[in-house]
Structure 1
Amino acid sequence: MSVRILALVGSLRAGSHNRQLAEAAVKHAPEGVEIELFEGLADVPFYNEDLDVEGDVPAAAARLRAAAGATDAFLLVSPEYNGTIPAVLKNAIDWLSRPYGAGALSGKPVAVVGTAFGQFGGVWAQDDTRKAAGIAGGTVLEDVKLSIPGSVTRFAELHPADDAEVVEGLTKVIEQLSSQAAPAAA
């Protein structure tokens, strides 16, 4: 049985280097690991308890929760927006943190990776993402990291899936993440 990992990308831009990083993870997933790149974070409304009513949760949020509930682990891919986590990724974490103590993130391994233009590769945003995912109940793998600096120049003409150094680092992250995940019963 394969380990299932759900990848959530904090950038909505079609040509996002972080989306490309997630695509590289899907392409280079080791045998026995399936990575699903979740589509539709842009459609999930901002978290609001008034909307989070059993039986009446907005369809996009329900679809996110269903995908998260069917996964064994999470790969969160975060760019850095003004020194922190993008709203769309934080919003996804908020929806997955509910119901309190029993959200879809609860007890599941979480790894955070990303790329940014700056010299540190978005580490502030990735640290904030780890913090939010941990508070939301995820088992954050604090030592499993991949921050790729200089995204605009590094990936100007090269997709991350074709960058041997990136693929090597990403493969290590996925292997460590999948080793911490227990495959869910199908």
Structure 2
Amino acid sequence: MTENQVGAEAKVLVLVGSLRAASINKQLAELAVESAPEGVALQVFDRLGELPHYNEDIDTEDVAEPVRALRAAAAAAGAALVVTPEYNGSIPGVLKNAIDWLSRPWGDGALKDKPVAVIGTALGGYGGVWAHDETRKSFGIAGPRVIEDLKLSIPSKTFGDNHPRENAEVAANVREVVEKLAAEVN
């Protein structure tokens, strides 16, 4: 995990739905961490690829260490920012798997009642809207409090060959989402 500030008041867990090293969504997460306002610490959980597929039979006291780490990071956070692409018109499997692990124990998962916002980028003219809507739906059922009006779906052609931080409008929009999400932390 990386953190942009030590001892900050509002801790926000960042989950990225892409495992690809050169992912633009990972770059958006970097931008969110870099642009977080004072008093807000964003922590990127970069181990989603290590989670076993959710299976209730292995969700025991001896659950795999990456699952324990994810649940601990979620429990320590006051909110979550999800940054995700769209795969085949829907949510990436690695992200859905993380949601399933975070939803347990049912009705008392580590993100229960905590605010969650979903942003991201994808190919196509809508920037991943379907995946973002599906992600909000899944998290809403899993227990967090999804902040429906915090939306940012950006067509990836917006960036060309540049890092998202090089687009002033995108940088401002990401910072605004992070500020509003942090304001939702009790």
Taking the aligned partners of 1:161 and 1:90, their CA distance within structure 2 comes to 27
1:5 aligns to what SS in structure 2? strand
Q: Distance in 1 between matches of 2:123 and 2:78?
A: 31
What amino acid is aligned across from residue 93 of structure 2 in structure 1? A
Is 1:73 aligned to 2:79, yes or no? yes
Aligned pairs for 1:28-47 within 5 A: 28-47=35-54
Q: Give the length in aligned residue pairs.
A: 179
State the distance in 1 between where 2:57 and 2:87 align.
Answer: 28
2:88 pairs with 63, 69, 82, which one?
A: 82
Fraction of identical pairs, as percent: 58
Q: RMSD value over aligned CA atoms?
A: 0.9
Q: Residue 16 of structure 1: which of 3, 23, 30 is its match?
A: 23
What's the counterpart of residue 169 of structure 2?
165
Q: 1:105 aligns with which of 111, 121, 124?
A: 111
2:135 and 2:67 mapped to 1: Cα distance? 19
What are structure 1's unaligned runs of at least 5 residues? none
Q: How does the TM-score come out when normalised to structure 1?
A: 0.94
Instruction: Choose which of 92, 98, 122 in structure 1 pairs with 2:98.
Output: 92
Structure 2: runs of 5+ lacking an equivalent: 1-7
8 Å Cα contact 1:26/1:36 also seen in 2: yes
CA distance in 2, matches of 1:63, 1:167: 30
TM superposition shift of 1:157: 2.2
Which residue pairs with 1:154 in the alignment? 158
The answer to whether the 8 A contact 1:28-1:161 is kept is no
Write out the 4+ residue segments of structure 1 that deviate beyond 4 Å after TM superposition: none
Residues 125-144 of structure 1 deviation map (CA, whole Å, 9 limit, x = unaligned): 00000000000001000011
> Offset at 1:161?
1.7
